[in-house]
Structure 1
Amino acid sequence: MLYYLFRFLGEYGIPGSHIWTYISFRALLTLILSLVISVWFGEYFIKWMKRHNVSEAQRDKSIDPYGVEKKGVPTMGGIIIIVSIIVPCLLFGRLRNIYMILMLITTVWLGVLGFADDYIKMKVSKDGLRPVYKLAGQTLLGLFVGLTLWLSPDAVIRENVSTQRLGNTEVVVHKSEKVKSTITTIPFVKDNNLDYAEIMSFCGKYKTAAGWFLFVVMTTLVVVAVSNGSNLNDGMDGMAAGNSAIIGVALGVLAYVSSHIAFASYLNIMYIPGSEELVIFICAFVGALVGFLWYNAYPAQIFMGDTGSLSIGGIIAVTAIIIHKELLIPLMCFVFLMESLSVILQVNYAKWGNRKGLKLRVFKRAPIHDTFRVRPGQLAPDVKVLCNWPKGCWLESKVTVRFWIITVILAAMTIITLKIR
């Protein structure tokens, strides 16, 4: 809203009004405000939750050896994150921008879905929302995002198609016209554009429509996978918030260079007009998560719950899709991917063992972060574990920080893909 106010004032020559047109200025203000709101609002929210006795049930000691320390900790802390994202974006963002609209809808939709799950866990059943309903909500969002990017006339790109040499420097020249495109980026490949329409070329004259259909399906799969991976990663104090903030920084860099035609030309990537508003949103996202860590770092004063974990996963997924970098997600979100794969492997291996009358496990416990805090002798003697590492039990804070370090390395590698091909 302030963007439109100062743009209006700029028409009358009010000094200083033009500064609101700079992405860097609005982005930094958004980062600061979201962090402040997260810390300030978080304190009052935690007090309110404790006053009304709204807390997560004590965790089973056999699953979480630190459960005694976490009795009565409030949940639904994702509300803090969502408020801290939305308020700065409403103030400093361009609200008529298609990408900003999509990100706000993603945040609210998955926030409501996660809130329903948390509420049912507290008031009705500890199992929460039935998985089929949760999956349906994620799928609907993925379809909505994919179809919007397909049908909206504002969701366009300018392709990087030719190279000119200026002295010893090669400069990429983008097409002058903005086009709808099913192109995405392949990492570590010189000609790093993959066209979904070309994959569907066997459809003949319908290959463009088929390409968009494949894009919508891919969008839905990415939204479901990343939001579930983020949800599984939320099992230790500060784990999901810290990892997601780091990923958010990498996404912010990718969004900025994609929205700046000079950087897009230098890096030989597609230019996406209007995606600069994603930088504003991602700054709010990172600021909200860092502020949330003020209370969520070990020992946590509040848990984000599904209200937060589903939202942050969806935000990461949709941002990557908008800037045509969804194929970078396995690298950037490798921690989320491993969490999901560990659960899939554990469940299927255990089922296979049950048919043979054996108690078989791939890891000592899943998701993968839980295997690092299993104490010696904690598993039943008749359980056979395929991967019995580590031998001891790590402190929760150590596990969390080491996962952060891994994510920092992966985020740096993601940014490096802009140059390494």
Structure 2
Amino acid sequence: MIHWLTELREHLDADSFIAKLLNVFHYHTFRAGAAFLTAFLLSLMFGERVIRKLISLKVGQPIRSKEEVQKLFDLHGKKAGTPTMGGVLMLGTFVAAVLLWTDWHNRLVWICLVTTLLLGLLGFWDDYEKVAKKNSKGVSARAKLIWQFSVAIVAAYLLAYAMPDGTVTTSRTTFTPVTDTVTSAAPAGAAVLNEVKLPVSYRGLVLPGFKEPLIEDMGVFAVVLFAFIIVGFSNAVNLTDGLDGLATGCSISTGLAYAAFCYLTSNVTFSNFLFIPYFRLADEMTIVAMAMVGACFGFLWYNCQPARMFMGDTGSLALGGAIATLAIACKQEILLLIVGGVFVMEAGSVMIQVASFKTRGVRVFRMSPIHHHFELGGWKESQVVVRFWMLSIIFALIALSTLKLR
């Protein structure tokens, strides 16, 4: 919204103080920093009020009973009654920062924002069911998946078919023609290495280490891939949200990495230098990413151990959807396997545990998701959380280091 102030420059003297001041709002780096601070400060301003309101509504977090998981109950039983649905604070500050600092004409902003809100609404419904019925089950898995895939398919279709193509710079070997008179610096018939720009679609498959898309146009399979990424990562973040500050902290490092990817992807100089696809509309997603990071920082103020409130599914499902959409928006969705390595570990541990128990009757881990495996192995909750944060930062740095492998 504030971006519109830059349009006033056209009616002012270019050398005037006000024109130069308004020009600051045009820069994505400034607005990204402002979005971060806005989300963070709003969280600090309204956090206490949200906690008091949640306590007054008696929306305490249901903990699985001692009969269900005795050892886990012994570790986490004291958390029963801690307010959940804290994701409303995170979502509220995120949306406010995005609306305040982004250019509303950018379609990617709205795709990401609406996807995040709809998944957050599903999480709110799930949290309400848990609180109202005083159990840890919530909405049925089938209803969740139907909602998630409905939202994800629409978002995936828009990302695949409603976005303009970008370009990618690549090196191509060409040959100078053999002529009677050679006027070029290269001899006739010699091989010359030239850099050329190729069109690249959002439907293309871009892999780390390759200068050109591995598949130029996946067609409808792009929609399928994007939808599974959104649903999968939404659930992965949800599974990770089991310890104080764990999902929030890992989302911060993941969000910072994708803020960098979005900025580099939308800058023609950097994209040409790094041989990554250039998509102009990804510029505003830098601001969206930093708004998400700011909202996570603000929420972590109250969610670090001992947590005063939990994000619940309201926050975790929305966070996962936002991160997945950011990854697709800058055409680094495959790198999400590395950037979001902790979330992948958590989801993978659940799938391995379920598959092993159903096929062999054997549990691979003491308990899944994997953070509980380490808890039951003797690690303190704070140790698990901080070490997983460290892993998340390492995964983000590894992903960023792949940029110049092309």
| TM-score, normalised via structure 2 length | 0.88
Distance across 2 between alignment mates of 1:224 and 1:326: 13
- Structure 1 stretches of 4+ with a deviation exceeding 3 A read 58-61, 161-164, 170-175, 178-181
Deviations 1:119-168 (A, max 9, x none): 1111135311111111112211221122112332x43212324479xxxx
1:197-276 to 2 correspondences below 5 Å: 197=217, 211-276=218-283
Distance 1:179 1:416, change over 3 A: closer
2:94 matched to 1:85? yes
2:140 to 115, 118, 130: 130
2:146 matched to 1:141? no
Distance across 1 between alignment mates of 2:216 and 2:324: 18
Counterpart of 2:249, as a letter, is G
Q: What's the Cα RMSD here?
A: 2.0
* Structure 1: gaps spanning 5 or more residues: 165-169, 198-210, 355-359, 375-391
Kept in 1: contact 2:169–2:211 (CA 8 A): no
Distance across 1 between alignment mates of 2:318 and 2:263: 22
1:17 to 22, 27, 51: 22
Residue 221 of structure 1: how far off its partner (Å) = 1.0
Distance across 2 between alignment mates of 1:67 and 1:181: 44
Deviations 1:352-396 (A, max 9, x none): 345xxxxx311111111101111xxxxxxxxxxxxxxxxx41110
Distance 1:296 1:172, change over 3 A: farther
Kept in 2: contact 1:59–1:71 (CA 8 A): no
2:306 to 280, 299, 309: 299
* Greater alpha carbon shift after TM alignment, 340-349 vs 52-61: 52-61
* Structure 2: gaps spanning 5 or more residues: 174-192
User: In the alignment, what sits opposite 1:410?
Assistant: 395
1:4-403 to 2 correspondences below 5 Å: 4-8=4-8, 10-13=10-13, 14-15=18-19, 16-61=21-66, 62=70, 63-124=72-133, 126-152=136-162, 154-162=163-171, 173-174=196-197, 180-187=201-208, 189-195=209-215, 197=217, 211-354=218-361, 360-374=362-376, 392-403=377-388
Distance across 1 between alignment mates of 2:195 and 2:39: 36
Residue 408 of structure 1: how far off its partner (Å) = 0.6
Deviations 1:194-215 (A, max 9, x none): 2253xxxxxxxxxxxxx22010
Distance across 2 between alignment mates of 1:171 and 1:29: 41
Counterpart of 1:117, as a letter, is D
Kept in 2: contact 1:174–1:271 (CA 8 A): no
Distance across 1 between alignment mates of 2:56 and 2:228: 40
Residue 345 of structure 1: how far off its partner (Å) = 1.7
User: Between Structure 1 and Structure 2, whose CA radius of gyration is higher?
Assistant: 2
Distance across 1 between alignment mates of 2:84 and 2:341: 26
Aligned residues: 377
Distance across 2 between alignment mates of 1:265 and 1:293: 37
Residue 172 of structure 1: how far off its partner (Å) = 5.1
Distance 1:250 1:119, change over 3 A: same
Kept in 2: contact 1:114–1:310 (CA 8 A): yes
Residue 70 of structure 1: how far off its partner (Å) = 0.9
2:279 counterpart SS class? coil
* Greater alpha carbon shift after TM alignment, 135-144 vs 277-286: 135-144
Distance across 2 between alignment mates of 1:249 and 1:192: 25
Residue 56 of structure 1: how far off its partner (Å) = 1.1
Distance 1:20 1:69, change over 3 A: same
Residue 12 of structure 1: how far off its partner (Å) = 2.8
User: In the alignment, what sits opposite 1:380?
Assistant: none
Deviations 1:279-323 (A, max 9, x none): 010010000001111000011000000011101111111111111
Residue 349 of structure 1: how far off its partner (Å) = 2.0
